[in-house]
Amino acid sequence: MKSNQKIILGLGAAVLVGLVAYKQMLKPKTTDGVKIDTSAATGIDFQRKAISLNFNDEPKTLDAQKASDEVAIMIQSHTGEGLTRLDQKDNAQPGMAESWEIKSPTEYVFKIRPNAVWADGKPVTAQDFEYAWRRGLDPKVASEYAFILYPLKNAKDVNSGKKPLEDLGVKALDDKTLSVKLESPTGYFLRVLSFPTYHPARKDFVDQHGEKYAADASTLLANGPFFVADWKHNSSIKLVKNEKYWNQAEIGLNEINMPYLIRDENSEYNMFKEGKYSMMRAISKEILPDAQANKLQIRKYNVGTVWYFQINTTRKITGNKKFRKAMQFALDRNEYINQINGIPGTKPSYGIIPDYMPGIAASIGEENDRSFKDADFAKAKELLEEAKKELGITEFPEIAVLGSDASTTRRDLEYFQRFFKEKLGINLKLDFQTFKVRLERTTNKDFDIVLSGWGPDYLDPMTFADLFTSWNGNNNTGWSSPKYDAEIKKAMASIDAKERITAMLAAEKELVEDAPIVPIHQQARVYLQDPRLTGVIRSPVGGDPNFYFAKITESVANK
């Protein structure tokens, strides 16, 4: 499903590997109007086995049971480890568990490694998993990712407060043996165990730090290949190799430095060209021509993320279904992809489940045509007039659209602002906020419309399909549907591929019909990476990028 194919765009057969030497001197960079001194930054340091890359945004939290954003999940995937971890092909491999026995489709017994320890040297125990999973479902903790634990027996009732934490289907039989019972057979269970919400937590450490737990480097405790050595909020973060990690001999990097938080893509690009960063996790179409002209090695992969407008159905205007449907019909997805996005591999989205997800015998996209007629302006205008009558208004008020302050988000929303004004006469007021604030306001439903993206947590369509259930903490639309919920429950309870996929697609159809979201596109990504840095995994599943297998190639570094 993932692609790490190396390509040169627009250069024919002339593929040049290596960094380009630049004569220009390093100039001070700025982010959010503040000058920063980047003279000490080094993209690749072979002697120290250290790399540097951009600290793209401040995570909302690094608490594994509460983390929900892309940056936090990437960091947690390096500082923590669950019972399993994913290999280069996204298959589940032994992690904290050295082995397991599947006693039945709904009962597992895991054996924790005898050499699994925390960064402070204390052993990782079965009780640490029992405590962490209960904590993730505790209504008082209010984890946005509690739903990902729902395969566990009684998890949903525990999370809603209907049953006590002790009724959850997880029990430490002894310090190194964990018994797990599931609500129903779950084909992707071993894969999802690698996700941060399933990582262990140590009760004594959590209790010691209370509200400050996981808020700073000093209040974080790692059990993965790296630990957070330094964290300057909204500025930088540094990961250092955890020498107590059970597989530390196979970890090729000693440090992952994110020394500056730079939101301007051009400044980040200059940092890469000047050798101050080892990679750019993504580049936009505006950067592509210069990267091509400088013969930089351009790579691509399927991000796996679906982007959409999430609409607050609890407000007067956006709560009107015909208003939402008008936006859905009017949007010209191919125009946006070709003229604005411009990234090879990007595809239109007409639902919430991306095409690459596995279906019955092939992929969802290969087996199903879920497209509808978009750019249907006549239908959209007709729906708008009906919406006005239902709302008792003659003109629509200004509608606020929330988005992060990233440069590509600004570009996209400015396009959509012009588009809906020109095509439908709808006035959109753009509200750009930092990533952290955007997340908080989305969670609190403090928006009319928000530009959102969702990437997969595991390789199964359920990671998208259950997103808009009434119990999912990431459903911020205020919308719920008994029919949608029923189809997802049916899919969750089944082990038959055809029955599962049919139910999930029926739920998606209900979602599209009621339009609490307006799907836009399925994201592909092109990026830049120093050729001396090898083994980096770019995958739609789990923490991205993944440096577990990364190494610095000495022969190239010494040239």
What would the DSSP string read from start to end of 364-427? HHHH-------S-HHHHHHHHHHHHHHHT-SSPPPEEEEEE--HHHHHHHHHHHHHHHHHH---
DSSP 185: -
Structure confidence at residue 495 (pLDDT): 84
Give residue-wise pLDDT tens across range 289-314. 999 999 999 999 888 899 999 999 99
The token pair that represents 124 in the structure block: 């990782």
Domain co-membership, 42 together with 185: no
As a whole number of angstroms, the distance between CA 212 and CA 388 comes to: 49
Tell how far CA 31 is from the center of its chain: 24
Whether the link from the prior residue into 519 is cis, omega within 30° of 0, is no
Residues 25 and 65 in one domain: no
Q: Report the alpha-carbon distance of residue 386 to residue 122 in Å, rounded.
A: 65
Identify the sign of the CA torsion 73, 477, 486, 507: negative
State the pLDDT at residue 16.
26
- Min mean pLDDT across 54-58, 155-159, 269-273, 315-319 is at 54-58
Same domain for 194 and 139:
yes
31 with 124, same domain: the answer is: no
3-state secondary structure of 71: helix
**Exposure letters 42-57 (e unless 16+ CB within 10 A, then b):** bbbbeeebbbbbbbbb
DSSP state of 210: G
Domain co-membership, 393 together with 448: yes
Does 115 score more than 90 pLDDT? yes
What pLDDT is stored for residue 175 in this prediction?
98
- Looking up residue 107, the CATH number of its domain turns out to be 3.90.76.10
Question: Do 248 and 190 fall into the same domain?
Answer: yes
Give the residue-averaged pLDDT of 168-180: 98
SS3 51: strand
pLDDT at position 70 = 87
Identify whether residues 102 and 240 lie together within a single domain: yes
Alpha-carbon radius of gyration of the chain: 24
> For residue range 18-58, what is the model confidence (pLDDT) as tens digits?
323 222 323 333 344 444 555 557 899 999 999 999 998 89
DSSP alpha helices (H): ranges in 140-295? 155-159, 189-192, 203-209, 265-273, 288-293
Q: What is the DSSP letter of 218?
A: G
Token pair, residue 337, equals 């992809």
Q: What band does 128 get if pLDDT is binned at 50, 70 and 90?
A: very high
Give the range of the structural domain holding residue 451, as residue numbers without chain letter: 303-523
Query: What one-character DSSP code corresponds to residue 357?
Result: S
CA-to-CA separations, 498 to 105, 185, 308, 358, 503, in angstroms, rounded: 18, 15, 27, 11, 8
CA-to-CA dists, residue 403 to 159, 281, 304, 410, angstroms: 30, 20, 20, 8
Q: CA 408, CA 25: separation in Å to the nearest integer? A: 27
Residues 225 and 350 in one domain: no
Which element (helix H / strand E) includes 463? helix 462-465
2 lies in the same domain as 145: no
- Residue 452: name the closest of 33, 69, 175 by CA: 69
CA separation for the pair 437, 435 (Å, rounded): 6
Check pLDDT > 60 for residue 73: yes
Residue 257, SS3? strand
Q: Which residue has the higher pLDDT, 16 or 271?
A: 271
pLDDT in tens, 366-376: 999 999 999 99
Q: How many CA atoms lie within 13 A of 559 on its CB side?
A: 8
**Are residues 133 and 3 located together in one domain of the fold?**
no
**pLDDT for res 27:** 34
Angle at 452 between CA 451 and CA 456, to 5 degrees: 160
> For the chain, how many structural domains are there in total?
3
Least confident residue range of 12-21, 86-95, 380-389: 12-21
Mean pLDDT of 157-168: 97
**DSSP designation for 20:** P
Q: Is 260 helix (H, G, I), strand (E, B) or coil?
A: coil
Contact of 54 with 281, CB cutoff 8 Å: yes
Indicate the Cα dihedral angle 490, 491, 493, 496, nearest 10°.
120
Percentage with pLDDT > 90 across the chain: 82
User: Do 226 and 317 belong together in one domain?
Assistant: no
Q: Are residues 62 and 183 in the same domain?
A: yes
Q: 152, 183 in Cβ contact below 8 A?
A: yes
Model pLDDT, residue 40? 59
The per-residue pLDDT for range 498-540, each reduced to its tens digit, is 999 999 999 999 999 999 999 999 999 999 999 999 999 998 8
User: What's the CATH number where 358 sits?
Assistant: 3.10.105.10
What's the confidence (pLDDT) of residue 36? 53
445-499: pLDDT as tens digits: 999 999 999 988 888 999 999 999 999 988 999 999 999 999 999 998 888 999 9
Residues 142 and 496: their CA atoms lie apart, in Å, by 32
Q: Label residue 222 by pLDDT band (50, 70, 90).
A: very high
pLDDT at residue number 24: 31
